[in-house]
């Protein structure tokens, strides 16, 4: 059945205007003033913004990590995402050394199909590059539409890859048209600092932050940027937390390199002092990289405002406090890293960003949706409201005031990292390809209705020139 959304204010990354919108067969077919059709269902959006559905480019659902598995899976995680205004996620598919990439992707398909209530895709972790991987990567890109690779520069003895692997991954990505994502921290030095801290009986959650100083995030970020320049490739730095890293990205972009940066709500509103909460509560705030001294938040907001950082990911990676975070009592290095944000990513950015005047409405849409669609090969099917785009739509009431809490959230996890935080604005209804998933704040979706998305290869955005060496430089003529 046709639907017409009437009387709302349509907001994209480029424009804000009042018009009606017709949806047919899951796509947006008409945008005009005063639309009517006798056979259409009318949805009144008076007083609300109409946003493109949020795209969360960074989730870990049903992921084994730190000796346990994230508590939110593709059903509870995507349901919570939908409540929060997100209609597409890209989850990280973990690979295992010595095993085929396809077997890892198959595992992730098994985890997600029949469960997801919104559309989803996968990034592929690269843990080693050898002849088998080099042969299989282009096949996976073609058959699975996976066009982004993830390299961990930290988590020694588990996920960490060496610099040679990162270099070869960047080279391959340049050749094949993929975007390389990095978790940028110096894992070798961190491992040493952790050993030193534990030897000195420094076991509380705060030592998680103190053994992962911002210098080691800045150093790894700079190293990854240098290797990207050397290979003339493209890099997306996930979960940027601090000035040390953000300013390296700004510098790389100034040099004309194709470097992109993501930060997450937790780094914009929480800080290192949260790890000092008594009774082991600090464990709820253990992320890697860690929460930083509060002054870094101003730098992150500035970088979002001026375009040095472009996207907001949730880094959804939820572990219950009871029985999971508690694994690290008496040894901070055993606290599973990560937290629950998939539901609150969109609203926290709206409330802290737009409502507090730090970013514009259009920048908000760009950060929570459009730029991820462009960088990860889904635009304009996703990430905007234009004729022919999927009708992934959020009807958002900007006047509602509410309090975030584990008592009201829809994730399975047993705590909220934002307990008691007041936010302005709320998604009222959310549509995925033209069908309601959330209607008037009630879940009406169906597990398994989310579709797997094949993504296009990375294309340098029009504003970013591909860096080509001038003739003189190639012949050694530049001093
Ligand atoms: O602490 C975090 N960020 N956990 C999830 C895994 C990762 O590093 O992204
Ligand atoms: Zn990470
Ligand atoms: Zn992550």
Residue range 297-330, pLDDT digits in tens: 999 999 999 999 999 999 999 999 999 999 999 9
Domain presence at residue 317: yes
pLDDT at 477: 29
Per-residue pLDDT tens digits for 254-302: 999 999 999 999 999 999 999 999 999 999 999 999 999 999 999 999 9
pLDDT at 461: 67
Q: What is the C-alpha separation between 416 and 340, in angstroms, rounded?
A: 7
Instruction: Map tokens 């900007």 to a residue.
Output: 398
| Residue 288 CA, closest ligand 1 atom number | 1
Q: What is the C-alpha separation between 402 and 81, in angstroms, rounded?
A: 17
- Parallel, antiparallel, or unpaired for β 9-11 and 16-18? antiparallel
Three-point CA angle 247, 250, 253, nearest 5°: 150
Give the range of the structural domain holding residue 62, as residue numbers without chain letter. Answer: 53-375
Q: What is the C-alpha separation between 79 and 367, in angstroms, rounded?
A: 21
Residue 88 has pLDDT above 50, yes or no: yes
Q: Which residues, in sequence order, are bridge partners of residue 28? A: 23
Domain presence at residue 409: no
Mean pLDDT in residue range 75-96 = 98
Q: Measured from the CB, is residue 315 less than 6 Å from ligand 1?
A: yes
3-state secondary structure of 287: coil
Domain presence at residue 140: yes
- 439 phi/psi in degrees, rounded to 5: -130, 120
Q: Measured from the CB, is residue 338 less than 6 Å from ligand 1?
A: yes
Three-class SS of 387-401: CCCECCEEEEEEEEE
Q: Measured from the CB, is residue 150 less than 6 Å from ligand 1?
A: no
Residue 150 has pLDDT above 80, yes or no: yes
Mean pLDDT in residue range 219-234 = 98
Give the rounded distance of the alpha carbon of 176 from its chain centre: 23
3-state secondary structure of 268: helix
Tokens of 178: 């993929």
Domain presence at residue 358: yes
Number of domains in the chain: 1
Q: What is the C-alpha separation between 48 and 45, in angstroms, rounded?
A: 5
Do residues 420 and 277 lie in contact, with contact meaning Cβ atoms separated by under 8 Å? no
Q: Measured from the CB, is residue 212 less than 6 Å from ligand 1?
A: no
Q: Measured from the CB, is residue 172 less than 6 Å from ligand 1?
A: no
Residue 115's closest CA among 479, 412, 361? 412
Q: Write the CA distances from 420 to 84, 165, 331, 403, integer angstroms.
A: 17, 43, 28, 6
Q: Measured from the CB, is residue 58 less than 6 Å from ligand 1?
A: no
- 20 phi/psi in degrees, rounded to 5: -100, 160
Residue 396's closest CA among 52, 32, 87? 52
pTM for the model stands at 0.96
For the chain, give the mean pLDDT. 96
Query: Where are the extended beta strands (E) located within 343-464?
Result: 393-403, 422-432, 435-439, 442-443
Do residues 250 and 288 lie in contact, with contact meaning Cβ atoms separated by under 8 Å? no
The sign of the CA dihedral 284, 447, 370, 425 is negative
Measure 183 CA to ligand 1 centroid, in angstroms.
8
Domain presence at residue 297: yes
Mutate which of 150, 315, 332, 345 for ligand 1? The one with the most ligand atoms within 8 Å of its CB, which is 315
Residue 475 has pLDDT above 50, yes or no: no
Ligand 1 atom 8, closest CA: 288
Residue 215 has pLDDT above 70, yes or no: yes
Domain presence at residue 418: no
Per-residue pLDDT tens digits for 22-74: 999 999 999 999 999 999 999 999 999 999 999 999 999 999 999 999 999 99
3-state secondary structure of 90: strand
Q: Measured from the CB, is residue 288 less than 6 Å from ligand 1?
A: yes
For the purposes of burial, counting CB atoms within 10 Å of the CB of 341, is it exposed (0-12), middle (13-18) or buried (19 or more)?
A: buried
Q: Measured from the CB, is residue 287 less than 6 Å from ligand 1?
A: yes
pLDDT at 388: 98
Domain presence at residue 255: yes
Confidence class for position 476, pLDDT limits 50, 70, 90: very low
Domain presence at residue 285: yes
Measure 31 CA to ligand 2 centroid, in angstroms.
40
Provide DSSP, 296-360. HHHHHHHHHHHTSS-EE---B----TTTTGGGGTT-GGGSPP-B--TTTHHHHHIIIIITTTSS-
Confidence class for position 473, pLDDT limits 50, 70, 90: very low
Q: Measured from the CB, is residue 159 less than 6 Å from ligand 1?
A: no
Residue 175 has pLDDT above 50, yes or no: yes
Mutate which of 237, 313, 337 for ligand 1? The one with the most ligand atoms within 8 Å of its CB, which is 337
Percent of the chain with pLDDT over 70: 96
Q: Write the CA distances from 249 to 143, 231, 296, integer angstroms.
A: 32, 17, 15
pLDDT at 462: 60
| CATH number, domain containing residue 170 | 3.20.20.140
Q: What is the C-alpha separation between 378 and 389, in angstroms, rounded?
A: 10
Do residues 378 and 7 lie in contact, with contact meaning Cβ atoms separated by under 8 Å? no
* Stretch (H or E) spanning 253: helix 243-254
Tokens of 194: 């952790």
């Amino acid at each position: 059945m046709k639907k017409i959304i009437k009387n709302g204010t349509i907001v994209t990354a480029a424009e804000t205007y009042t018009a009606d919108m017709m949806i047919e067969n899951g796509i947006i077919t008409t945008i005009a003033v005063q639309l009517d059709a006798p056979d259409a269902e009318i949805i009144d959006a008076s007083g609300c913004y109409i946003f493109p559905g949020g795209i969360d480019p960074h989730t870990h659902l049903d992921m084994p990590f730190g000796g346990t598995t994230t508590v939110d899976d593709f059903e509870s995680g995507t349901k919570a995402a939908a409540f929060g205004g997100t209609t597409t996620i890209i989850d990280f598919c973990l690979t295992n050394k010595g095993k085929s990439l396809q077997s890892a992707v198959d595992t992730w398909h098994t985890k997600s199909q029949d469960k997801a209530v919104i559309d989803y895709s996968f990034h592929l972790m690269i843990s080693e590059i050898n002849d088998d991987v080099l042969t299989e990567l282009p096949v996976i890109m073609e058959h699975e539409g996976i066009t982004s690779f993830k390299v961990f520069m930290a988590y020694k003895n588990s996920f960490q890859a060496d610099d040679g692997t990162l270099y070869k991954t960047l080279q391959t990505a340049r050749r094949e048209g993929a975007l390389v994502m990095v978790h940028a921290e110096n894992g070798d030095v961190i491992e040493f600092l952790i050993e030193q801290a534990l030897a000195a009986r420094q076991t509380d959650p705060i030592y998680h932050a103190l053994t992962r100083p911002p210098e080691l995030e800045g150093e790894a970020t700079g190293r990854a940027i240098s290797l990207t320049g050397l290979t003339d490739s493209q890099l997306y730095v996930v979960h940027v937390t601090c000035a040390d890293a953000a300013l390296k990205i700004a510098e790389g972009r100034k040099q004309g390199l194709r470097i992109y940066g993501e930060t997450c709500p937790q780094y914009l509103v929480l800080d290192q002092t949260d790890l000092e909460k008594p009774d082991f509560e600090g464990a709820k705030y253990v992320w890697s990289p860690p929460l930083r001294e509060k002054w870094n938040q101003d730098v992150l907001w500035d970088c979002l405002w001026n375009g040095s950082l472009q996207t907001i990911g949730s880094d959804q990676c939820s572990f219950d406090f009871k029985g999971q975070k508690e694994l690290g009592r008496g040894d901070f290095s055993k606290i599973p890293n990560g937290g629950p944000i998939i539901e609150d990513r969109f609203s926290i950015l709206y409330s802290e960003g737009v409502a507090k005047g730090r970013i514009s409405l259009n920048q908000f849409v760009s950060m929570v949706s459009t730029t991820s669609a462009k960088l990860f090969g889904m635009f304009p099917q996703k990430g905007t409201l234009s004729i022919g785009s999927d009708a992934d739509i959020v009807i958002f009431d900007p006047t509602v005031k509410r309090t975030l809490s584990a008592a009201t959230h829809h994730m399975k996890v047993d705590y909220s990292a934002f307990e008691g935080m007041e936010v302005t604005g709320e998604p009222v209804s959310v549509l995925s390809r033209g069908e309601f998933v959330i209607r008037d704040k009630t879940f009406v979706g169906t597990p398994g209705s989310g579709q797997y998305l094949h993504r296009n290869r990375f294309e340098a955005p029009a504003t970013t020139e591909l860096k080509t060496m001038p003739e003189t430089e190639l012949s050694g003529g530049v001093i």
